Amino acid sequence: MTNCYKYRSHCPINQTVELLGDNWSMLIIRDMLFFSKTSYGEFFESSEGISTNILATRLKQLEANGIIEKYIDKKDRKKSIYLLTEKGLGLAPLLAEMLLWGYEHGDKPEEFSSVAKKLKTDREAVLSSVLEKYRKQRLSIV
Amino acid sequence: MTNCYKYRSHCPINQTVELLGDNWSMLIIRDMLFFSKTSYGEFFESSEGISTNILATRLKQLEANGIIEKYIDKKDRKKSIYLLTEKGLGLAPLLAEMLLWGYEHGDKPEEFSSVAKKLKTDREAVLSSVLEKYRKQRLSIV
């Protein structure tokens, strides 16, 4: 993001909205942070059924806004790998709140009850552990 | 939201995304919670320039999903008033995280430095006070 970029308003909540683009971005970031996904193919396989053009556009936008970085896969140099930057990892608390609210008001699936409970009772510890795990994964890849 | 509603996936983060609709919804909820706005005209005036059709659609969706409620204005019975429900107020921590991240990575406007600092150092107190103020406002209207 260059300094000449003009946001629609000075409100930081709006600036978050603009930097993220739309809610598909949050699902891509969720896939990276919580499910250790790194490739276009892996993001595409997620059960929400993101379309190829939306996925490609969001990855470009997230990269342009410094939230993710694109690398060449060392094991297969024809493949790209996407990793969250520290700025992107800063969205972890936002994802945590989305998970908690969605669990409370959505269909409360059994497989998420444990993480929702842990997040509610010990938010900071859960977030620290998720971030530490991600940074280790990133170090092993880059 | 009826029980037969099918989300695209069981992930609570995705369910939050689906219940909110898109990021314009977060700006409407911000206007209600932080700026005490209650009417279509007030939401429309916000500096991000939401279009009339997006605003109307989002209000309907937020109402259908139990996040806001529509009332008749007691002072002018031709006017509608929109208020956040308790479910909608549950989004306050998510808005707080959006504000903090946007302040950190956006253009850091001076007028938001005080609220960002307070939220960072005493998140729970700020949120409690915002919610208490909103509930009082709601009681005085309904």
Confidence of residue A1 (pLDDT cuts 50, 70, 90): very low
Per-residue pLDDT of chain B (142 residues; tens, 9 = 90+): 444 558 999 999 999 999 998 889 999 999 999 999 999 999 999 989 999 999 999 999 999 999 999 999 988 999 999 999 999 999 999 999 999 999 999 989 899 999 999 999 999 999 999 999 999 999 998 8
Average pLDDT, chain A: 92
Task: Please tell me the predicted confidence (pLDDT) of residue B21.
Answer: 84
CB contact under 8 A, B90 and A109: no
Task: Please tell me the predicted confidence (pLDDT) of residue B5.
Answer: 59
**pLDDT tens across A45-82, in order?**
998 999 999 999 999 999 999 999 999 998 899 999 99
Tell me the nearest-neighbour CA distance from B76 into chain A, angstroms: 31
Q: Which of B88, B84, B101 is nearest to B136 (CA)?
A: B84
| CB < 8 Å from B in window 119-138 of A | none
Task: Please tell me the predicted confidence (pLDDT) of residue B2.
Answer: 44
Residues ≥6 apart with Cβ < 8 Å to A92: A33, A127, A130, A131
Cα separation of A107 and B1, whole Å? 10
CA B19 to chain centre: 13
CB contacts, 8 Å: A12 with chain B? 98-103, 106, 109, 112, 116
Token pair for residue A8?
């629609």
Report how many Cβ contacts below 8 Å link chain A to chain B. 153
pTM exceeding the 0.90 threshold for the entire prediction = yes
CB contact under 8 A, B30 and A13: yes
Cα separation of A33 and A131, whole Å? 8
Q: Does pLDDT of A2 surpass 80? A: no
Length of chain B in residues, anyone?
A: 142
CB contact under 8 A, B19 and A106: yes
Mutant choice from A15, A22, A67, A111 vs B, greatest count of B C-beta within 10 A: A15
Task: Please tell me the predicted confidence (pLDDT) of residue A6.
Answer: 82
CB contact under 8 A, A23 and B17: yes
Q: Does pLDDT of A5 surpass 70? A: no
